[in-house]
Each structure stands twice: as structure tokens, then as C-alpha cells.
Amino acid sequence: MESQAVAASQTSRAKKILAIGNHLGFYPGAFFPKDEGVDYLSSPTLRNIEKHRKDFTVFSHLDHDVGGGHGGVNAFLCGVRKQESNGFPEKNVSLDQIAAEHVGSAARFPSITAGIGEGTDMCWTRTGVRIPPVNSPARLFNALFTQSPQTVRKSERERMTHRSSVLDALLGSAKSLHGDLNPTDRDKLDQYLTSVREVERRLQMSKEWLDRPKPKPGIQPITDEERMDIEEMPLFFDLLTLALQTDSTRVATFEIPLGFTTTDLDGVSYGYHGLSHHSKGEGKLAELQVAEDYIFTQVNRLFDGLQEAKIFDDTLVIVGSGMSDGSKHSNKDLPVLLAGGGLKHQGHLVSPEEHHKRVPLCNLWLSALQWFGVERDGFGKSTGTFSGLDFS
């Protein structure tokens, strides 16, 4: 895939993050290699990205020490379940949104959240509000590459000005109440003010980019709104690669939902959710492997595209899930790999399995954020940075 207008990508070597989350995880028996280190024998699932093995690291025995099955998946990029987030200063904010705050107005979109269908509840603001994914390739294409007419932009500017006035009034009223409230209500008010400030911040960024020309993508416009689920993944990956290549964003996520359609794949007769409840039955496991092979074939294609665009070394790609084994509804030992980023990858890294020695997955997320340029000493449930992989 080749863009005809990539001036931004030629002048910028900015670091980027792309996170892909699959709600139902990946069958552990086919995902994790049996051997440790760089000379591991590829597992059935990872054979689909074997050509890129020098450009990714697979991690074993990392998780967030949460339960809840499907309800624990929302902790994947956060480390904290939404249901347990009240005691945390940043709630269950996800890694991508911390990175987006760091980007600020340097890109047209601080972050892009995309996905198939309703997504996986993967992306969250620091006030604990879910960010739903854009689930139409045509909508994403238009946002990235279609310049709105001047009349539309004028209306949008007026709407933003009106919203700014409303926000100013809300902030003024809320601040006047602060001293009259008890500690519990003050805490709720502070959360509310934080949400208002977040809206205000995003509004200012939108104004700044409203009249700037959008890049030319080098592909035909996408107008088909009625694509089947299974057809959307490669197209979304192409669009996200273009978004990163043209520096339209530096942070992107892609969500594969619980209800991902698989019956259009040759040899698959069950839906993806049904296949995840395999109970180790040979027939269902064989069909599940077909579905997971398809996903990783598209991941391989994504890696090819990032390499062709010459941004793979600048882009840290996260692939994984907040669930490990869908049949057991387990949130332990999550399937996680990191690719690209210019790192010296380590093949298969095995962290301690013993409970008292386990390394929180948030340590890896903290190191990823520091690689991105975010200056912070903690994230989620981290106990420090991840020492097994050199992020320098």
C-alpha cells in the first residue's frame, strides 16, 4: 500500500502507538511458544507473522491480577477494571488516552479509536468514560481525508464557540459551589470539573485544526457503509496505517468484539463467541484456529504495510487481550505481544509464574508510555518499569 501524499511522514519521525485488542483473547495452547528466547519454535498462531519474528516480542505470565471474565476485559489497556476504578486517582484511564494527552494538538487527532461493531470497551478517559470505536471505514476515511466545505466548517466553528460559552458558564457555577460541599460531594464535583476540562481541551484542539488542509490518502474514497465484519479488518488496518503515515494521528486503537463474524471463513460453522467456548473439543479448536489464523494474517499484513510506509520502527504495536482463554473466561496469563518501535526484540520473554514474583502487565505499559515520551513514574497497578526489554 503506497500513499501519494506523505509529506508529513517524510518530515516527521514522531513516535506512534497502535494497540489492537481482541475481546475473546487467543487460545493459549496455540498462541504461546513452548520455548523461551529468540530461538523459539513458532506456535500455530504466531506462524502467521513468522516473517516478522525479529520485529516482535511475545510475553508470558503477564496480566492485571483481575477477574470477571468478560467484565475484566475492559482492564486490558488500563490495568484497572471499570467496576473497581473509584479508588484510583486516574480511574481506569487507558494507555492510549495518556499517550493522546502527551500528543496534544501536535496531530489533527490526538487519538483514533476504531473497531468492528460495538468494540471491546478498551479505551477510557481519565474520568472513567468509555470511548466507543468508529466502526465504519467510510466514516473514518472521511474524517481523515475529506475536507469539509467552508460553509460546514463555519457552522462547526460557531457550534464550538457556543459550546465553549456553555462550558465557561458551567465551570463558573461549579467553582462557586465548591466551598459549600462535604468531602464526598467535593470529590464528585472535582470529577465533574475534570470531565468539563477534558471537553474544553479537545474543543480547542479541534478549532486549531479546523481549517488546515487534510492530506491526500493515495487511495480511492471509501463510500461503502455496509461491509461485512470480516471484510472490515484489512481495510481498517490500511486506514490506520495511512493515518499514522500522514501524521494525522500518533495514537490509534483497533477493537475486535465478542461478536466478530467468522462463519464466512472457509471451514468455520460457528460464530467466534461460540468457538471461544471450545471446552478443548477438537472440532471447535480446529475452527477456532482458522479464525485466529485469519486475525493474525491481517496482523501480518498490517506489519507489512507499516514497513512499506517506513514507519514500523517508529510505531510500537500492541496486540493482545484482556482475556486469555475464552473457554474458561480467564483474565490470567494474557496473550500479549509488542512489535516494531525500533526495539531490540527478545523473541519469547517468560516472566515469573509464581504469584509473589509476578510482574504486573502495567509495568510493560509504563515502559511503553515512557518510550513514547510520557514522563511519569507509574501507570495503573504498575510497580515500576518492565526490566525484561530494553525500551531505550
Handedness of CA 180, 185, 187, 190 (dihedral sign): negative
Residue type, 343: L
Q: Decide if 293 contacts 48 (C-beta within 8 A).
A: yes
For 260-301, the pLDDT digits (tens) are 777 778 888 777 877 778 777 777 888 888 889 999 999 999
For residue 36, the model assigns a pLDDT of 97
For residue 307, the model assigns a pLDDT of 97
Please determine, for residue 8, whether its predicted confidence score (pLDDT) is greater than 50: no
- Tell the residue number behind the cell numbers 507489512, with chain if given: 304
Q: Decide if 95 contacts 369 (C-beta within 8 A).
A: yes
Name the pTM for this structure.
Answer: 0.85
Rounded Cα distance, 387 and 355, in Å: 18
DSSP conformation class of 19? E
In this predicted structure, which of 52-56, 98-102, 181-185, 240-244 has the lowest mean pLDDT?
181-185
For residue 9, the model assigns a pLDDT of 42
Please determine, for residue 218, whether its predicted confidence score (pLDDT) is greater than 70: yes
Please, what is the Cα angle at 44 between 116 and 303, to 5 degrees? 50
Q: DSSP letters along 81-145, please?
A: -GGG-TTSTTTT--HHHHHHHHHGGGSSBS-EEEESTT--S--B-TTS-B-PPB--HHHHHHHHH
In this predicted structure, which of 3-12, 127-136, 189-198, 340-349 has the lowest mean pLDDT?
3-12
Q: Higher model confidence: residue 7 or residue 385?
A: 385
**Cα–Cα distances in angstroms (integers) from residue 171 to residues 128, 161, 178, in the given order:** 20, 15, 11
Please determine, for residue 342, whether its predicted confidence score (pLDDT) is greater than 60: yes
The residue-averaged pLDDT of 137-162 equals 71
For residue 280, how far is the Cα from the chain centroid?
Answer: 29
The residue-averaged pLDDT of 23-49 equals 96
DSSP-based helix, strand, coil % in the chain, nearest 5: 45, 10, 45
**The architecture CATH gives domain 7-145+223-372:** 3-Layer(aba) Sandwich (3.40)
**Cα–Cα distances in angstroms (integers) from residue 264 to residues 27, 164, 227, 300, 337, in the given order:** 20, 47, 13, 20, 27
Please determine, for residue 195, whether its predicted confidence score (pLDDT) is greater than 70: no
Facing residues of 338 across strands? Answer: 57, 318
What does the mean pLDDT of the chain come to? 85
Residue type, 194: T
C-alpha cell at 289: 484456529
